[in-house]
Structure 1
């Protein structure tokens, strides 16, 4: 990287953190071999400061699924009805009067092509409104019941369709527990944290764990019960240093067979509210030259963002990894926008 590019990265980070909406932030940029490394903090946030990963946790869940696939313990074509009592699953996907629930597969969940609704955003009593008012636990059974009371968006595996919904990964988390024989936190530890030496990344299981606060505008929100309930779809805590180690391993083939991973690069565009984001097998893809983008660049970003302002993306065209956190729930597009602009600045 040249000094000019480094200054561009710093300018972009400063522009985002100078916003009145941002109280703290952290950015770490590296290439694969670490010859280039840039770290910028704001508001007291540093390289080792903990933050809530939110939906970046889905990359951990994806990793476990791929490892279990490699071990021959499951198949992406497995129907989820093989893992759950029929009474639990029946009724979660009724579309145009037909119940497709027992036909849903692990692949449908991983690729977000199940058509299942998002209980966090949808419905009269959506969880998004509730979380701003109070902290609460929600069980897997509760989430399944909520899904059954909402309408799916399309028939599963409808060509070219994808709909982002946490429940897809909540179900995958339950399958990981059944297949591995470990609690989800233990599975993450065995398959990811220990092999990579991540000692400050963890899935929160009780309120004694350190669970960072998040911001909604300038309001501090501390929701340990909800974070604990989020599990496989969004319950992990990490820091920028360890998230960088993970994202390099995820896209570098250090955790699972690279050939298996290559089969995941089939992308479908997500719902309109998700902007320019496509979804592959367990991760996001953002084309930088799409007609829906305000920016025009080359190549693509792959990785994941979180609703709390967290981001972890790889830009293959320039061999750059962007990880960090803007800690702001009020605008979920922020981590996408900063990642795109950083990639655009790498000329």
Structure 2
């Protein structure tokens, strides 16, 4: 390793130490790997649920990064002719789920929502977890205040239908500038469609398509794995342990390690997961930028300057914040618990990490540009 890469390692270690010492963050895993594997670095701080030191192999809750995995499955099913992304969701889900789900200005527009709308966050559907009903707290605030609970898809859909309002009609994706609004409801429905099309529970689909072919030995679903549960990072809220296993199981929550996530991302960006060469460019095309938050529910969701394709974020620090040396863009996804998985084409680098803290959703967007700066200068 060159002296400059030695210096990069020292700077990455310093970044990790500063990250853990900031605010409520008491733990972190950060990993970096070059495309040719000539440079690999991973560091970790904190204690696991069993009181052991967190390592680079310690699994953590990947939160919304599962959207990247599930969008990949949807595209794989589309390649095989089993799922038409432009079919309405009513073709795959029962009317008990879809009826009245998107009622906008007195009209039920649920039948206009396609699978592609869900994958690109252009459906306009309210976010079941973060959006606020009139005069009350969001569902995540209720759970944090009242304690863990298990929810069925029917219960979640009923909450969206009866207590929340859509933000806009399903968008015309042939137009130039469709509106985009991040919503966990979209991908909850994607999961239901995947299970309906395959006839398998989601964890079996992941095992068949990802875990076994890619050797993802530290990746699994909460409450759905036959093997013994691994020693995990502690999910926290404000620095204190947060035990919500029922909710995480309800949404088919995934645990994974930084190394396993990079292995998945390497296969995805290398075109190994798709049969057709045009599928990956389709996934990484059609970018639309999120707007500025206009209500309380949008404050914790991804917003400007993040762009969204099909299950993939594209993020680049605006030129205003880096005028002398424009930051390179990264492709991937983040989660609301302060976790990230990105690939930087310009530097040919994979980046993964987590602080497993539910108040740290913005941390990846501050941390990743600093990692890129270190790598570029090396």
Normalising by structure 2, we get a TM-score of 0.85
Match of 1:223 in 2: 244
1:329 to 319, 333, 358: 358
Report how many aligned residue pairs link the two structures: 342
Q: Which shifted more, 73-82 or 5-14?
A: 5-14
Matched residues in 2 for 1:106 and 1:36: separation? 39
- Secondary structure at the aligned position of 1:19 is classed as coil
Q: 1:166 is matched with which residue?
A: 184
Moved over 4 A (4+): 206-212
| Deviation for aligned residue 1:345 | 2.8
1:301 aligns with 2:322: no
Check the 8 A contact 1:81/1:89 in 2, yes or no: yes
For residues 148-199 of structure 1, what are the alpha-carbon distances to aligned partners after superposition, in whole Å with 9 as ceiling and x for unaligned? Answer: 1311111111533111111111101011111112111100111111110112
Q: Is 2:340 aligned against 1:311?
A: yes
Matching residue of 2:167: 153
- Report the counterpart of residue 141 of structure 2 in structure 1: 129
* Structure 1 residues 253 and 78: alpha-carbon distance in aligned structure 2, compared to 1, 3 A threshold: same
CA contact (8 A) 1:289 1:299 kept: no
CA distance in 1, matches of 2:365, 2:95: 38
1:8-19 map, 5 Å: 8-19=11-22
CA distance in 2, matches of 1:20, 1:108: 37
Cα displacement string for residues 116-140 of structure 1 (whole angstroms, at most 9, x for unaligned residues): 1112111224122123231111111
Question: Do residues 5 (structure 1) and 20 (structure 2) align?
Answer: no
Q: How far 1:212 sits from its partner (Å)?
A: 4.9
Aligned equivalents of 2:318 and 2:7: distance in 1? 23
Task: Give, in angstroms, the shift of residue 271 of structure 1.
Answer: 4.1
Q: Please say if residues 112 and 165 of structure 1, whose CA atoms lie closer than 8 Å, have aligned partners that are also in contact.
A: yes
SS of the equivalent of 2:372 reads helix
Out of 119, 137, 162, the position equivalent to 1:110 is 119
RMSD of aligned C-alpha atoms?
Answer: 1.9
Structure with max Cα Rg: 2
Deviation of 1:90 (Å)? 1.7
Go from structure 1 to structure 2 and tell me whether the alpha carbon gap of 1:212 and 1:6 turns closer, same or farther (over 3 Å shift): closer
Contact 1:108 1:156 in 2 (8 A): yes
**Matches of 2:127 and 2:63 in 1, distance apart?**
15
Deviation at 1:10, TM superposition (A): 2.9
Gapped regions of structure 1 (runs ≥ 5): none
Q: Contact (CA 8 Å) 2:319, 2:327: kept in 1 or not?
A: no
**Map of 2:155 onto structure 1:** 142
How does the TM-score come out when normalised to structure 1?
A: 0.93
* Distance (Å, rounded) in 2 between the aligned partners of 1:18 and 1:212: 17
Larger displacement relative to structure 2 (296-305 or 131-140): 296-305
From the superposition, tell whether residues 168 and 290 of structure 1 become closer, same or farther in structure 2 (CA, over 3 Å): farther
SS at match of 2:373: helix
Give SS of 1:303's match.
strand
Q: State the Cα distance separating 1:206 from its structure 2 match.
A: 5.1
Cα offsets for 1:193-225 (capped at 9, x unmatched): 111011221112359855653111121111110
Distance in 2 separating the partners of 1:206 and 1:212:
18
**Does the 8 Å contact 1:212/1:222 carry over to 2?**
no
Displacement of 1:289: 3.1
Q: CA deviation at 1:290?
A: 5.3
Structure 2 Cα separation of the partners of residues 151 and 114 of structure 1: 12
Return the match for 2:268 from 250, 255, 272: 250
Distance in 2 (CA, whole Å) between partners of 1:236 and 1:166 is 15
Distance 1:111 1:196 in 2: 26
Is the CA contact (8 Å cut-off) linking 1:23 and 1:327 kept in structure 2?
no
Residue 318 of structure 2 aligns with which residue?
Answer: 289
